[in-house]
């Protein structure tokens, strides 16, 4: 890897008032994400305002240096990895919540704001920002925008895309653009806002987002339904959604997931339980009480052995902490995992569960499934030990079969993690050449020099 | 206007099995929309399936003939007008509801389906498709997609964009593409779906849409709050939304609007009433009862003289019929109107009302305001008689001042009608050159020959 030119480094120092580094031990900290892959950048800059981002981009454009926007590096598909070296633009200093307007229910934030901090800030004002990826305590709004993050509450409330009204962003030319509106509605011109959201940092660097908020629901009720059969749990999911009430979350944990966090739920989970559904409803106090009771009866009717309702916020938090600990707790089972976030139509979940069992049987590898069953989004974790070549090959063939089954059932290979680098080779199975050609054309319109997060998506 | 070549006409006849016309008296029927402007096409084709659309597009591409997709021609900004002649692609024969899946809450429809028919069809299955433009009894889903239509229920439920999961569309090359997903979630590749929605038929011709549905709310309550002061009504709107309950509609009618449909409400409206808010809540029976009562008290506290709650569906329908009749009833006031659908942040509505009064005073023209106040979307109708040159000039200066005020207050020049031809010259006031350049670039990626709905937006 060639170093960055001294003259360029000096320019970066001058633009950011010294907030730049090329020290190898510091570069290391910006070389990985949740995929466990590792690519060293040439430098990391920490701009404080959009103007500085624009100046950095102009230099990189002139020199043809790759630029990689990065939030907390919690991505699951390598979106923030400097696969071709270059300059990482860390957004950690652009972390201001500029405004939370409780009259218009609109907020303006910088990309480096931690999602969880934003949740707390709006909730203090009696407002609500629904997108809640499992990593919310450390991921950033910028990263959420890049991947169009979802989370458990997407069942009822939708994903990041649905809460973005407008963006300020820096184009690969260094020009600053403003997209969208500050109002609830707006259709002037093409929808650049939602084109940039989910583009995985390949079209523009977001420097500010105008987000839509909702009033905070008066009450929330969280419950766990314990099923002795994974198939009964899977078929319960699609029946719940068909019902007139849409819960805000329907999370699913299979037997292996339960095993990984068994001691953390805050209640005893008998050994014969094959699946747990975590269901959450929200709304006014009366509604939540009624919906909660109906769902309890419903789950028992659908085969649940027991439904445990969290008595208070603390119990609900314990339950969610167990769910959120899952992703890392899986490493108890094997040192490596391939984590895929497939989505199938909810009425195909029972079939998908069968297909996953078949993959486990064929490969002999544990495939742990959990996730946002309420919208058909299942996180399938193929556990293996990559020191063994055979296991690596088997794991890859498992992914192959998993995606094949997903697409066959009318699904998509990624519900919220994005394509990044890990799903690049599978993308053409879902999206055909005519569509990819248009996408590449759009990329070239924004970024003719291909300097922005190169080597991603396609 | 040169006629279409005989050989091409014959090809169109052959592709569509004779469903094509070039008779002047028939062309007339496809030459206008709700703007009252008039442009004759060279031919109108009525394809039945996407394959036929693709064949037509290929011929047009080869010959450089403009293609104009058209639903019911109910657009407000000229989106379906053949301003440069060419071939109108009428979607009236592509009007099948292909599937309504009550297990996954997803429907597939062709573009020519009448929105109101689709509402009825899904409601019969206990499902709900929220977007409801005032023209729903005759407009098409295809047109709604083209303009990203909204309607009264957008306050709570969002707009067309929020209900589109995926599209089948024909590119200007004649290639058929499939965008998006059939599932609740999906982030693979760039969001072509939402780029095509709202692109006013300039990027691709939609031939099928996969739409998201909701369970039909158990109960709906409709009420009318009669205010003696327009300013009190305007300030009530933003306070209602701040409240923990988001009604599904908050419609606003000013004094002139009331005058136009006074005899249609189904109740007596005293002369001293300056504004009416039509408020609608939905949800489970208990919630609706409670929310309705709270809103009634709230409106009285905010200065309403009287709140009339519809006793049943029939009374609610009468009220909505009055609201929906407004757009055409306005012609009682003057033979011509310019209809703008500005949006301002909801807490700026009181200020906007003052600005509109100022415009009325300056120009002496009646400016009638009504619309979706709940999301800040006000339909301002400038009434005049275009036979008088002075009135025409005054009306145009009124539009000018209206947009100026809108943008000053942080708003947008179009909430749901699109830019089409009528707002083209104003677009650069809201969207600057850097953003427009990207939009033009995207247009060129999809449509290098500029054959698809040319002369629109920019």
Q: What is the CATH number of the domain that holds B229?
A: 3.30.70.3450
| Phi and psi, residue A447, nearest 5° | -140, 70
More confident residue, B331 or A118: A118
CA trace torsion B71, B73, B74, B75 (10° rounding): 90
In terms of residue numbers, what domain contains B442?
333-448
Which CATH number characterizes residue A124's domain? 3.30.465.10
Query: Which of B432, B425, B429, B430 minimizes the C-alpha distance to B457?
Result: B425
Q: Average pLDDT in the B93-119 region?
A: 97
Gap between the Cα atoms of B222 and A8, Å rounded: 64
Taking only the tens place, the pLDDT of each residue in B265-315 is: 999 999 999 999 999 999 888 889 988 999 999 999 999 999 999 999 999
Establish if B58 touches chain A: CB-CB under 8 angstroms.
no
Instruction: Supply the pLDDT for residue B3.
Output: 79
Same domain, A279 and A321: yes
* Higher local confidence (pLDDT), A153 or B245: A153
* A355 and A237 in a common domain: yes
Residue A245 in domain: yes
**Parallel, antiparallel, or unpaired for β B176-180 and B219-227?**
unpaired
> Which of these, A289, A154, A279, A152, lies nearest to A225 by C-alpha position?
A279
- How many folded domains does chain B comprise? 4
Alpha carbons A382 and A396: distance in angstroms, whole number: 9
Which ipTM value was assigned to this complex?
Answer: 0.96
- pLDDT value at residue A244: 55
Domain shared by A207 and A226, yes or no? no
How many Cβ atoms from other residues are within 10 Å of residue A354's Cβ?
14
B102 and A457 in contact by Cβ < 8 A? Answer: no
For testing contact with chain A, the best of B144, B190, B293, B348 (most A CBs within 10 A): B190
Q: Which of A438, A439, A447, A456 to mutate to test the interface with B (most CBs of B within 10 A)?
A: A438
Q: Which residues lie closer than 8 Å to A46 by C-beta, 6 or more apart? A: A16, A19, A20, A90, A92, A93
> Dihedrals φ, ψ of A177, to 5°?
-115, 160
Give the mean model confidence (pLDDT) for residues B427-444.
98
List the CATH number of the domain containing A276: 3.40.462.10
- A190/A154 same-domain check: yes
Contact list, A375 vs chain B (CB under 8 Å): 183-185
State whether residue B219 sits within 8 Å of chain A by CB. no
Q: Is residue A352 part of a domain?
A: yes
**Residue B379: φ, ψ to 5°:** -85, 110
Same domain, residue pair A311 and A324? yes
Residues A149 and A242 in one domain: no
Check residue B113 and give its pLDDT: 98
**A443 domain-assigned:** no
Residues facing residue B250 across a β-bridge:
B279
Q: Comparing A324-333, B69-78, B260-269, B441-450, which segment has the lowest mean pLDDT?
A: A324-333
Residue B378 pLDDT > 90: yes
Per-residue model confidence (pLDDT) at position A28:
96
Q: Regarding predicted confidence, which is higher, A36 or B192?
A: B192
Of B341, B417, B324, nearest to B77 by C-alpha is B417
Token digits of residue B400: 């000018």
Q: What is the pLDDT of residue A165?
A: 98
Q: What is the torsion angle, in degrees rounded to the nearest 10, for the CA atoms of residue B321, residue B324, residue B327 and residue B328?
A: -40
Chain A residues touching B416 at Cβ < 8 A? 185, 187
Q: Which residue has the tokens 């569309």?
A: B169
The whole-number pLDDT of residue A3 equals 79
A163 and A266 housed in the same domain: no
Average pLDDT over residues B348-368: 95
Say if B310 is an interface residue toward chain A (CB within 8 Å).
no
For the beta carbon of residue A432, count every other beta carbon within 10 angstroms.
13
Q: Has residue B81 been placed in a domain? A: yes
pLDDT < 70 positions in chain A: 1-2, 244
Strand partners, A85: A83
Residue ending a domain, choose from A215, A232, A258: A215
Angle of helix B230-242 relative to helix B349-363, nearest 10 degrees, comes to: 150
The residue among A180, A177, A182 whose CA lies nearest residue A205 is A177
Q: Which residue, of B171, B199, B215, is where some domain finishes?
A: B215
Q: Looking at residue A18, what is its pLDDT? A: 98
Instruction: Verify that B209 and B225 share a domain, yes or no.
Output: no
Burial (0-12, 13-18, 19+ Cβ within 10 Å), B79: buried
Mean pLDDT for B360-383 is 94
User: How, if at all, do strands A219-227 and A306-309 pair?
Assistant: antiparallel
Q: What are the tokens at B396?
A: 């145009």
pLDDT band at B244, cuts 50/70/90? low
Burial B138-169 (b: 16+ CB within 10 A, else e): ebbbbbbbbbbbbbbbbbbbbbbbbbbbbbbb
For residue B3, give both structure tokens.
């006629």
Q: Which chain B residues in 422-451 lie under 8 Å from chain A, judged by CB atoms?
A: 423, 427, 430-432, 434-436, 438-439, 441-446
Alpha-carbon radius of gyration of chain A: 22
How many angstroms separate the most distant Cα atoms in chain B? 71
Same domain, A120 and A230: no
Q: Which of residues 332-391 of A touch B (CB under 8 A)?
A: 343-347, 372, 375-377
Domain presence at residue A430:
no
Do residues B135 and B171 share a domain?
A: yes
- Residue B2 confidence (pLDDT): 61
Do the beta carbons of residue B382 and residue B365 sit within 8 Å? Answer: yes
* Residue A128: burial class (beta carbons within 10 Å; 0-12, 13-18, 19+): middle
* pLDDT reported for residue A328: 85
| A415, A385 contact by CB (below 8 A) | no
Average pLDDT over residues B313-339: 92
3-state secondary structure of A281: strand
The answer to whether B391 touches B365, Cβ cutoff 8 Å, is yes
The answer to whether residues B251 and B277 touch, using CB atoms and an 8 Å cutoff, is yes
A-B CB pairs within 8 A amount to: 274
Instruction: Let me know if residue B159 belongs to a domain.
Output: yes
Mutate to test the interface with A, among B75, B184, B193, B238 (most CBs of A within 10 A): B184
**Continuous segment of H or E residues that includes residue B253:** strand B249-254
């Amino acid at each position: 890897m060639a170093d960055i030119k001294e003259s360029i480094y000096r320019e970066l120092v001058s633009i950011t008032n010294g907030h730049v580094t090329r020290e190898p031990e510091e570069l290391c900290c910006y070389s990985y994400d949740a995929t466990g892959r590792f690519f060293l950048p040439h430098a990391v800059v920490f701009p404080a305002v959009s103007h500085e981002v624009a100046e950095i981009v102009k230099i990189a454009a002139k020199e043809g240096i790759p630029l990689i926007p990065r939030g907390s590096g919690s991505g699951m598909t390598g979106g923030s990895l400097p696969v071709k070296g270059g300059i990482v633009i860390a957004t950690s200093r652009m972390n201001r919540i500029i405004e939370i307007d409780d009259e218009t229910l609109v907020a303006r934030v910088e990309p480096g704001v931690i999602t969880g901090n934003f949740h707390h800030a709006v909730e203090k004002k009696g407002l609500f920002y629904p997108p809640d990826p499992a990593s919310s305590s450390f991921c950033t709004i910028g990263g959420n925008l890049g991947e169009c993050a979802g989370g458990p509450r997407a069942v009822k409330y939708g994903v990041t895309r649905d809460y973005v009204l407008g963006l300020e962003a820096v184009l690969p030319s260094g020009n600053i653009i403003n997209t969208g509106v500050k109002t609830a509605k707006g259709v002037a011109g093409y929808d650049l806002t939602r084109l940039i959201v989910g583009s995985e940092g390949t079209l523009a660097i977001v420097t500010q987002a105008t987000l839509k908020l909702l009033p905070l629901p008066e009450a929330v009720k969280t419950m766990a339904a314990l099923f002795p059969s994974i198939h009964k749990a899977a078929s319960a999911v699609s029946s719940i959604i068909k019902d007139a009430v849409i819960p805000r979350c329907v999370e699913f944990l299979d037997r292996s997931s339960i095993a990984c966090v068994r001691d953390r739920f805050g209640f005893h989970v008998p050994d014969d339980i094959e699946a747990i559904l975590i269901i959450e409803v929200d709304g006014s106090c009366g509604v939540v009480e009624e919906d909660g009771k109906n769902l309890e009866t419903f789950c028992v009717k659908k085969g649940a052995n027991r439904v445990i309702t969290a008595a208070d916020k603390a119990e609900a938090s314990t339950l969610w902490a167990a769910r959120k600990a899952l992703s890392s707790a899986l490493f108890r089972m094997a040192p490596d995992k391939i984590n895929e976030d497939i989505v199938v139509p909810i009425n195909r979940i029972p079939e998908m569960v069968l297909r996953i069992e078949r993959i486990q049987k064929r490969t002999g590898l544990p495939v742990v499934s959990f996730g946002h069953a309420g919208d058909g989004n299942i996180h399938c974790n193929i556990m293996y030990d990559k020191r063994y070549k055979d296991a690596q090959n088997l794991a890859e063939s498992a992914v192959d079969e998993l995606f094949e089954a997903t697409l066959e059932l009318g699904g998509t290979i990624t519900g919220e993690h994005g394509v990044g680098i890990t799903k690049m080779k599978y993308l053409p199975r879902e999206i055909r050449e005519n569509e990819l050609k248009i996408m590449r054309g759009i990329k070239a319109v924004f970024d003719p020099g291909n300097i922005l997060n190169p080597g991603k998506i396609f």
